[in-house]
A = this chain, B = another copy of it.
Amino acid sequence: MSVLIVGSTALDSIKTPKAENPRLLGGSASHAAVAASFFSPVKMIGVVGDDFPKRYLQLYRRHGIDLAGLQVKPGKTFHWSGEYEVNLNNRRTLLTELGVFESFTPHLPDTHKTTPFVLLANIAPSLQHHVLDQMANTKFVVADTMDLWLNIALPDLLRLLKRIDGFVLNDSEAHQLTKEDNVFAALRKIHQLGPKYVIIKKGSHGSILSGPHGFFICPAYPLHKVVDPTGAGDSFVGGMMGYLAAARGSVDQNIRRAMIHGSVVASFCCEGFGLNRTSRIKRAHIDQRVRELEKLTKF
């Protein structure tokens, strides 16, 4: 089955203590769509300006991503610029130029409206709603978010939580949303807001699923060196959704291995700037790291 992914499509200028890389392919939808493409057909919904480099469209196409839902508008592509601190754990935004993204209204081609797996990657909750409004007969809908929406669009987000099957957020967002320091206590509270599946991302510490069959503690793949963590969370959830859409059986049966595969794609994402590393791997590289994770966690 295929997965529909809506989110931001952007140009990222990223500064780390060791390097500076202007106008990389970025955005939540870009990272999630490429990650998902290793497992299943992907339909991407987004908007770019007429300055969007052709090579990035070619990159999407090389990954077999259906671009019928990608709008190309006169104007500039969303441009984000950020700087990471020495340990790569904290980043600050230097610049945000919304460009054509400012007036983005996701519009689904008819062929996309019954896609069974839906990933509402990080984007304003009102746009996530707008996508769901156009869909029918979905099988599994997951939303990601960020602290910004908790700050400026909480009512929209809370309404969204009642419409989705799974919700993905990081540990500090979980704390912000629930006022709970304890991640397991936070998970319980988030279920009460609606979603049956809740996943809390903890960066290099892995992630935790809470679902109908209890918790799953999902490890991160060990990396000796992180080059650029931008998009790792999007790669994680994108890889997970791609794996789920491709797998036989129920979401319940597959979600743990789906998270492991997402976790591995995220590890590749961290090893290069933007999509530089992720866009150069093959499914076999992912499967190799999944086997390693099996060995690294066995007891």
Contact = CB atoms under 8 A, between A and B. Distances in A.
Interface of A: 86-89, 181-185, 188, 202, 204-206, 208, 214-219, 222-226, 256-257, 259-260, 294-299
A206 B259 CA distance: 18
B226 A222 contact: no
Contacts of A225: 182, 185
Q: Do most interface residues of chain A lie in helix, strand or loop, or is the interface mixed?
A: mixed
Contacts of A218: 299
A214 B181 contact: no
Chain copies in complex? 2
Contacts of A219: 217, 219
Contact of A299 (B188, B256, B299): B256
Closest 8 CB pairs of A and B: A87-B181, A256-B299, A205-B205, A217-B219, A184-B224, A184-B222, A185-B224, A217-B296
Given A182-B223, A205-B202, A224-B182, A214 B86 contact: no
Given A182-B224, A202-B205, A217-B222, 16 more contacts: A86-B181, A88-B181, A89-B181, A183-B204, A184-B222, A185-B224, A205-B205, A206-B217, A208-B222, A214-B295, A214-B296, A216-B297, A216-B299, A217-B219, A256-B299, A297-B297
A91 to B, nearest CB: 14
8 contacts: A89-B181, A182-B225, A184-B223, A205-B206, A214-B295, A217-B219, A218-B299, A257-B299
A87 B186 CA distance: 13
Contacts of A297: 216-217, 297
Q: Which of A184, A205, A215, A223 has the most C-beta atoms of chain B within 10 angstroms of its own C-beta?
A: A205
B215 A222 contact: yes
Q: Which of A88, A204, A217, A260 has the most C-beta atoms of chain B within 10 angstroms of its own C-beta?
A: A217
A16 to B, nearest CB: 12
A214 B224 CA distance: 13
Nearest to A216: B296
Nearest to A258: B299
A260 B257 CA distance: 22
